[in-house]
């Protein structure tokens, strides 16, 4: 089983690349952002709770997110491996993921970061906001808040995974297919 954590700032292209990688490596793609948006659209209790955080650009509380992620993994007992996109985003989530995967007799194989400059990313998100319908993409203050959340809570995960010898980074700027190649060469050498 290979399990990959796709890591990167908002707008880095995790979702775009996940679409290619899941096919290539036969992985189940779990995007916490997508699961939250599905729940928001359907007005579930989880969706209504998440919305109050997401629309401001804040992270959803760890316990809520982790329980949701665990349910999503358990809903795919036949999976050959998982591609985690948008999870973990805090140290507590990373610890929960490690403990959970260990309890399933598996582990996180590697964390791969897509790197890109903040200014490029903010511009990408504002552009995406014109068509995505996402409230959190439409306002520069909310986007900046997501970067602040990232810098405070998510960036420390790089050291967490470096200490485990599992951190890899690729340049996230370029043609989509070139970036898929860069990610693939990391995965093929694991």
Asked, as a colleague might, if the bond just before 152 is cis with ω within 30 of 0, I would say no
DSSP 9: S
Q: Using CB under 6 A, which residues numbered 73 to 132 contact ligand ADP?
A: 86-89, 93
At 121, list the tokens. 């990313």
To the question of whether residue 128 is assigned a binding role by annotation, the answer is: yes
Which residue of the chain is nearest ligand ADP when measured via CB? 33
Closest distance of CB 53 from ligand ADP, Å = 5
- The site map against ligand ADP for 126-165 (x = CB under 6 A) is ----------x---------x-------------------
Q: Binding ligand ADP by CB under 6 A: which of 25, 53, 100, 160?
A: 53
By the rule CB under 6 A, 68 interacts with ligand ADP: no
At 87, list the tokens. 């999870």
Q: What are φ and ψ of residue 30, in 5° steps?
A: -115, 110
Looking at the chain, list the stretches that DSSP marks H as alpha helix, in order from N- to C-terminal side.
Answer: 14-25, 32-41, 45-54, 62-74, 91-103, 118-132, 140-149, 157-163, 176-188
- Cβ closer to ligand ADP: 46 or 188? 46
Q: CA–CA separation, 141 vs 139, rounded Å?
A: 6
Closest distance of CB 182 from ligand ADP, Å = 19
CA distances from 175 to 16, 60, 85, 155 (A): 12, 32, 20, 25
By the rule CB under 6 A, 17 interacts with ligand ADP: no
- Cβ closer to ligand ADP: 141 or 188? 141
To the question of whether residue 13 is assigned a binding role by annotation, the answer is: yes
To the question of whether residue 164 is assigned a binding role by annotation, the answer is: no
To the question of whether residue 144 is assigned a binding role by annotation, the answer is: no
DSSP, collapsed to helix, strand or coil, labels residue 57 as coil
At 116, list the tokens. 């890109």
Closest distance of CB 188 from ligand ADP, Å = 25
| Residues forming the site for ligand ADP (CB under 6 A) | 10-11, 32-33, 36, 53-54, 57-60, 65, 86-89, 93, 136, 146
**Binding site per annotation, positions for ATP:** 11-16, 128, 174
């Amino acid at each position: 089983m290979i399990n990959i954590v796709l890591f990167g700032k908002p707008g880095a292209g995790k979702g775009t690349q996940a679409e290619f990688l899941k096919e290539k490596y036969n992985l189940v793609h779990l995007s916490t952002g997508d699961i939250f948006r599905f729940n928001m659209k359907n007005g579930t209790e989880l969706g209504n709770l998440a919305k109050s955080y997401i629309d401001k650009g804040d992270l959803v509380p760890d316990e809520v997110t982790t329980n949701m992620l665990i349910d999503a993994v358990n809903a795919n007992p036949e999976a050959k491996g998982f591609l985690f996109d948008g999870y973990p985003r805090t140290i507590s989530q990373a610890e929960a993921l490690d403990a959970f995967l260990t309890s399933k007799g598996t582990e996180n194989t590697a964390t791969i970061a897509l790197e890109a400059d903040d200014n490029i990313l903010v511009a990408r998100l504002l552009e995406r906001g014109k068509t995505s319908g996402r409230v959190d993409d439409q306002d520069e203050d909310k986007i900046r808040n997501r970067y602040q959340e990232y810098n405070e809570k998510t960036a420390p995960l790089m050291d967490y995974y470096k200490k485990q010898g599992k951190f890899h980074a690729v340049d996230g700027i370029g043609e989509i297919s070139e970036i898929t190649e860069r990610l693939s060469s990391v995965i093929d050498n694991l």
